[in-house]
Structure 1
Amino acid sequence: MTKQGKINNGALEKKRRPEDIVLKDIVIPFLREDLGYKFIDPRLQRVPIRFGRETKYADTVVYIIKNAKKIPHIVVESKAPNEPLDWEQAESYAQRLRAPYFLVTDGKTWHWYQTGERQGESEIIKNVPEAPRYMEKENLIAFEDLNELQRVVGKCHDIIRNEEGFDPTIAFDEISKLLFAKTQDEREVNQGFKDDKGRTPKNDYEFGIEKDELPEEIGTRVKTLFERAKNKYPEIFEGTTEDIKYIKLRFPTIFHIVQELQNYTLQETTIDIKGATYELFIKGTFTGKGLGQFFTPREIVEFMVDMLEPKRRDFILDPACGSGGFLITCMKMVFDEIDDLYRQRGVDNPKKEKWGFATQHLYGTDINERMTWVAKMNMVMHGDGHGGIFNHDGLKDSERIELIIDIVKKKDGFDMVLTNPPFGSRIKSQDILARYKLGEKHKEQLTEALFIERCLNLLKSNGILAIIVPDGTILNNPSSQDIRKFIIQRSFIEAIVSLPSETFIPYGSTQKTSIIFLKKKATETEVQTKPVFMAIADTVGFDSVGRKIDSNDLIRILERHDAYRKNGEKALAKIDQEIGIKKLRLSEIADEFPADDDEKGFLVSFSDDNFIRRMDVEYYRPKIKRLLKLLKNKNAKKINEVVEPPVEREKIKEPDDLSTVFRYIERIDSKTGKIIYGEKPFNNIPQGARFIFRYPCIIVSRINAKIGCVAILPKDLDGILGTNEYYTLCPKREVDIDYLHEILRSNVVKQQILVRTSGLFTRLHEEQLRKILLPLPVPAEQVKIKEARSQAESMKREAKHLEREALTEILKKFE
């Protein structure tokens, strides 16, 4: 080392760490000015490096350019002056990035290393690696970030739309075909041959445009590439319609798309970037076209895979695979594991290991022909495994899925099944129903129920199932107790994670869902003794319209589950022990009731009776238990104690003149707590609106009370009609109606309603409503709500008066 840097003490910035000063003021200038390296990470420090699920950060990375691609060349680890120059961490970063060199320095002492293939094999070197003086001719550039790839693919999509007029679904097919042809081109160049049999030599890329080439020449060449790709992977196109088997685009359109793609390489683009882009492309194409059910958001997929932690020896299945998201994410995690094993001398041939896993351990079926093709294409783009994807009804067996049946026969079943099955419909085919315990002796059965049984049948003993299910049909519906009993008989309940109600709204489903993790029992006589890990996710990384947000509770849930898995029950307090430990203040939860941190992972003692009755997380959440305990300790009253006994409902008689106009309740506004009503002739009002509601009373919606649909019936609406989907509560004399209305709309009551409602439409039964606890202050305190409302109305009128005065003054200037 010839150059010794000197730190200018006058230039030191108090806010910078000593190691940052060494990096910026000494190391970076030396690398650039003395050694000639121009491409140093623009962030200068903290370059993220993924190790499985964990992200670590190198101080900076120096790159060289090879074939128009930035290649990591030197990993730099800077230390504070006189700090020990530990090199093991820098070695692991360099090995992960496949950088041939790494540097550890405190600005005075410089240790240069040549990176070894495996841990501990790196060697210190005397000659400093200088920057290459001559760069190779640039060929193809890897997409370095998601935005870049999305921009290019989006532009290709626009070209097809503008030049061909195809709808998004056909445009998706055509772009996929061209990407498939380009992938084939890159593989042929890498292998040096156009085919396997004739070994026709190939050195140059064909998916590109030479000077003066015409669209007809380019289009013909690309279509030939596509035909060779089809011949190499014929199983991808088995069972597809004829229009999928050829490129529909005209030559000029192909020419313009090749112009956009020719300078990039798909082979060298990371799985993360390709996966995210393809996912967004699929999402934008198929959601809203009746195919949103085939899409599971990346955040949910990654969480489920991370919870299971698949390994290279595992056999994995998704019987309703859609676009293949679960299988691709499993493949990526296992590929990372294989890379780590190679570095630690656990495997000798990582390429062979990856190929073996992708082609022999991943399987999926889907009933939709188009999505099966999409999944196969997706797998090819990501590293193959397409041979295990079949267009087939996931609830049936046949010769078409012989490979899957063989695994069940020869290996006792799959190690893991991950799936988001279709739900919201019922199977009526007696041929299918007769195959399942949950189907036999039934005229029909929930699709999701049969998929649970199917998945358990395909698992080996102690195999794990991760499946998304709707709360309202599987977990809390009183009519589904036989399904929950079956789950308990056949499996151990490992974990249940509640997802927010908006999770699948961007994809066309409004159902509240949860993820359940089940371990298949060896025999039905086995008894569960372990508690169940439960968690509530209020956020999952995107909002109700699919926009990305920073908040994602799944990350914290995963952390708590990891702690439980590593340290056992001592890592998380059981729910029974947790109640009463944390203080709960009613004033803090009146408007909002977010899950506490302990609700991002808690344990619930298992019992057959409880879990047959209810299996939804909300029923067991600690915060609800603390709320109920607090209310009981404060001598709260049941609603039944503060309102008059229920009376038989008054029903209207049909008038002689059916054109007589009546007012009827359309709905109760959850934001304002007021009645929205309509006026129509008797013969046009909703058929069920035949019940008379009398002043004074509070009207409660059976279905939507949990979101605040509770209203005071005003005197001018006395006698309004409504359906039996509304209850009435008439407060006793000592209870102020305004206070009762406000407390019924607060989270103090809404959260109690949540645990007392169940089923697909979560109706609240009147006897359950009347058992809800209310804090009841003295009358002098209750009237403060009425006074506050009166003051608010006065302020509104005053504001309206001021607005009119201001407008009048403005208009006078124009007179």
Structure 2
Amino acid sequence: MVRTRDLRDLAEELGVELPPAEVAYGHEDNVANLLYPILEALGYEWTDIVKKPRFTHPIIGQPREADLGILRYNSKFYGIIVELKTYGERLTEDIIEKLAGYCGLAGALYGIWTNGQLISIIKLHRGIVKWDYVTNIPDKNKLVSELQTYTPPTTVSEQILAFRLATGLTEEQIEDFAEFCHNLIRSRRGLAVPDRIYEFSKLLVARIIDERRFREGEQDKLLLTTESIRDLRRRRVNINTYVNELLGEINKQLRIFSPGEGIDLPEDVIESIIERLDEYPLWSESLDVLGHVYERFLMHTMTGSELGQYFTPRTIVELMVEMVDPSINQRIVDPAAGTGGFLIYSLKYIQRKHNLGNDQVSEVAKNIYGIDVFETVVKLSKINVWLNGNSHENIVKGDSLDPENSPSWWVEAIKNPENGFDIILTNPPFGAREGTRYRADVVENLCRRWEDEGVNMFEVARYRRGGAIGDVQPRSLFIEACIKALKKPEKPKEGGILAIVMDNGTLSNIQKEEPLVRRLIRRECVIEAVIGLPKGTFKPYGSNVIPSILLLRRKFKGKWRGEYFEEQQEPIFRVEIYKIGFVPAMTRYRIDSDRDIHTVVEYWRKWRSRRDAFETT
């Protein structure tokens, strides 16, 4: 959690009267006008302050520039580094990491971030790897004394990590290196898209864990850097052997890859990717950067037509997770998990909501479940969930529609809904992933398998005369399976929640099984919300349907307070959104405003609080 204090409170403690805020308006450099009087009161002179100190990467030589360096020592280091932001700009975790990176490059013991209103002060320890928040800027005499016993981070690994943190990671940079890696692998190996992603992911996970272990003190240097690869070449060591041995050692902890499985990429491709990634930080205790990197790679380097399936855009995932409001100890599942986007953002949401440490997140991850039919995609999901939660034991290969090929915990949730899932978040198969309708004989076979488990399943398929089974869209069967896997409540308002992306045809068509799907929804669920998405939302992922998000809660039906009670439909939260973070109906992903996402979340929370207050009274 980022710690800040009011800049004017700090000035008041020092007996300093700051100039009016207007002197800090405009360019971020103007914010320094509010900091200079404080530094002067602490004994620093104008000659101690250097504007725009520059630093370079120790291997590739790229430059970086901080805003202010204070109190130069040992001819090339600074005691304090200052990062300025425009007046009132929001503080985020990645800004503090960037500040720590500049401190590492400058050999600084302290770092200061300020936007003219708030100030955050950090003090480094363990070189660049760790830092603490402090409440005050040291005066000049104290800083001089502390620097006499301070050893700045000067090893190559420390400087590389410092450069990575100072560089930070933007969406544009992620897109740039993701596209580079994708095209490089495709041109050299000609692999299919899932295999390209999978091979890249193995190298990416090795690179991430290398950085993570170094930052957490588990190893004394970085092992996957441009310098280490060049050293291997100088010593004529096989790069593939080196990287695969490292991956094998990592897999003892991950337990995702097959024994002896290596990275199926040529040496020069591995070397080029490591060099390209060398300047970026891929591990962060905040978790957000890591998930963002991984999801952006997937979203920017594939299309539905290439992959035969699509992945839910991050902004849509975030909206759905925010609306279901998951909590600790709830069981959460995505029965069409893909690369685990819903599961990862649920973990992050719960961590923020309950202010959990990373060790506590690993316990939460044990209540996270996922199923997908494609083995490569399951491994990608396992990697992604493990990196964010240190656990992937409940991410499995299977078919959510077939009890013979589903995990036992999914079948049990449907057979015994009293122990069903608290939350199901999913984007079921339609469009490119779906292919064609399931033939009637295929559905009949699935129904018989569920009957063997004691479950009456896929009643939506019985739309023909006399209740005979017809051909069905897989998504219709999927919706029924999800509803029946929801937790059946013991009292009103406590049923399991389903947030699902649906084709508008399911909500409006009057042919074949769609009317039965809607009847099932009304019979078993209370419709909480319907969020209309723009046409083409999933076009970059191979589908041009008009989609909606449907939020359902399983009804209570049974004896309540001495008599039979069945929950009735209540007013529905209904909204159409257009600004979703990217331009819809484009064949390739292009960033756009996501303001409608935030607006909907705000309105939804107000709607719920007013409704709950009304019901209480």
Check whether the contact 2:527–2:569 (CA below 8 A) recurs between aligned residues.
Answer: no
Query: What is residue 542 of structure 1 aligned with on the other side?
Result: 582
Residue 295, structure 1, aligned to residue 321, structure 2: no
Give the C-alpha shift of residue 364 in structure 1: 0.7
Query: What is residue 472 of structure 2 aligned with on the other side?
Result: 445
Query: What is residue 533 of structure 2 aligned with on the other side?
Result: 499
- Equivalent position amino acid for 1:226 in 2: L
Secondary structure of 1:481 counterpart:
helix
Query: What is residue 414 of structure 1 aligned with on the other side?
Result: 421
Query: What is residue 697 of structure 1 aligned with on the other side?
Result: none
User: Out of 386, 392, 397, which is 1:386 matched to?
Assistant: 392
Query: What is residue 100 of structure 1 aligned with on the other side?
Result: 132
Query: What is residue 446 of structure 2 aligned with on the other side?
Result: 432
Query: What is residue 227 of structure 1 aligned with on the other side?
Result: 248
Deviates more, 1:293-302 or 1:249-258: 249-258
Check whether the contact 2:113–2:121 (CA below 8 A) recurs between aligned residues.
Answer: no
Give the C-alpha shift of residue 179 in structure 1: 1.3
> Cα gap change, 1:45/1:145 in structure 2, threshold over 3 Å: closer, same or farther?
farther
Residue 454, structure 1, aligned to residue 481, structure 2: yes
Check whether the contact 2:81–2:112 (CA below 8 A) recurs between aligned residues.
Answer: no
Check whether the contact 1:320–1:365 (CA below 8 A) recurs between aligned residues.
Answer: yes
Deviations 1:588-642 (A, max 9, x none): xxxxxxxxxxxxxxxxxxxxxxxxxxxxxxxxxxxxxxxxxxxxxxxxxxxxxxx
- Equivalent position amino acid for 1:432 in 2: L
Residue 39, structure 1, aligned to residue 81, structure 2: yes
Higher relative contact order (CA 8 A, sep 6+): 2
Check whether the contact 1:40–1:63 (CA below 8 A) recurs between aligned residues.
Answer: no
Residue 518, structure 1, aligned to residue 552, structure 2: yes
Residue 486, structure 1, aligned to residue 510, structure 2: no
Check whether the contact 1:74–1:100 (CA below 8 A) recurs between aligned residues.
Answer: no
Deviations 1:389-439 (A, max 9, x none): 111111123476134456675971111001010125433311224441223
User: Out of 125, 136, 147, which is 2:153 matched to?
Assistant: 136
Deviations 1:83-133 (A, max 9, x none): xxxxxx879999xxx973455xxxxxxxx389xxxxxxxxxx999667856
> Cα gap change, 1:352/1:61 in structure 2, threshold over 3 Å: closer, same or farther?
closer
Query: What is residue 279 of structure 1 aligned with on the other side?
Result: 295
Distance in 2 (CA, whole Å) between partners of 1:488 and 1:464 is: 14
Distance in 2 (CA, whole Å) between partners of 1:289 and 1:14 is: 51
Distance in 2 (CA, whole Å) between partners of 1:71 and 1:14 is: 26
Give the C-alpha shift of residue 291 in structure 1: 3.0
Distance in 2 (CA, whole Å) between partners of 1:322 and 1:69 is: 44
> Cα gap change, 1:72/1:272 in structure 2, threshold over 3 Å: closer, same or farther?
farther
Give the C-alpha shift of residue 299 in structure 1: 1.3
Distance in 1 (CA, whole Å) between partners of 2:105 and 2:411 is: 46
Check whether the contact 2:26–2:86 (CA below 8 A) recurs between aligned residues.
Answer: no
> Cα gap change, 1:368/1:93 in structure 2, threshold over 3 Å: closer, same or farther?
same
Secondary structure of 1:293 counterpart:
coil
Query: What is residue 646 of structure 1 aligned with on the other side?
Result: none
Query: What is residue 259 of structure 1 aligned with on the other side?
Result: 275
Distance in 1 (CA, whole Å) between partners of 2:322 and 2:231 is: 51
Query: What is residue 330 of structure 2 aligned with on the other side?
Result: 314
How many percent of aligned residue pairs carry the same amino acid? 26
User: Out of 222, 225, 228, which is 1:205 matched to?
Assistant: 222
Larger Rg: 1
Check whether the contact 1:413–1:460 (CA below 8 A) recurs between aligned residues.
Answer: yes
Distance in 2 (CA, whole Å) between partners of 1:414 and 1:421 is: 17
Unaligned runs of 5+ in 2: 1-10, 50-69, 72-77, 124-129, 451-456, 463-467, 489-494, 559-564
Give the C-alpha shift of residue 321 in structure 1: 0.9
Residue 351, structure 1, aligned to residue 358, structure 2: yes
> Cα gap change, 1:283/1:191 in structure 2, threshold over 3 Å: closer, same or farther?
closer
Deviations 1:331-390 (A, max 9, x none): 111122243xx6xxxxxxx233111112x1111111122222221222233333322211
For residues 568-647 of structure 1, what are the structure 2 equivalents within 5 Å? 568=611
Check whether the contact 2:430–2:474 (CA below 8 A) recurs between aligned residues.
Answer: yes
Check whether the contact 1:74–1:101 (CA below 8 A) recurs between aligned residues.
Answer: no
User: Out of 18, 34, 38, which is 1:23 matched to?
Assistant: 34
- Equivalent position amino acid for 1:306 in 2: E
Distance in 2 (CA, whole Å) between partners of 1:398 and 1:192 is: 45
> Cα gap change, 1:475/1:369 in structure 2, threshold over 3 Å: closer, same or farther?
farther
> Cα gap change, 1:288/1:407 in structure 2, threshold over 3 Å: closer, same or farther?
closer
Check whether the contact 2:501–2:547 (CA below 8 A) recurs between aligned residues.
Answer: yes
Unaligned runs of 5+ in 1: 80-88, 104-111, 115-124, 194-201, 343-349, 572-815
Residue 533, structure 1, aligned to residue 573, structure 2: yes
> Cα gap change, 1:483/1:43 in structure 2, threshold over 3 Å: closer, same or farther?
same
TM-score between the two structures when normalised by the length of structure 1: 0.55
> Cα gap change, 1:237/1:407 in structure 2, threshold over 3 Å: closer, same or farther?
farther
Give the C-alpha shift of residue 550 in structure 1: 2.2
Give the C-alpha shift of residue 500 in structure 1: 1.2
Distance in 1 (CA, whole Å) between partners of 2:324 and 2:141 is: 47
Query: What is residue 600 of structure 2 aligned with on the other side?
Result: 557
Secondary structure of 2:346 counterpart:
helix
TM-score between the two structures when normalised by the length of structure 2: 0.71
Deviations 1:26-50 (A, max 9, x none): 3477777366555322425434335
Give the C-alpha shift of residue 311 in structure 1: 1.3
Check whether the contact 2:400–2:406 (CA below 8 A) recurs between aligned residues.
Answer: no
Secondary structure of 1:311 counterpart:
coil
Higher normalized helix content (fraction of residues): 2
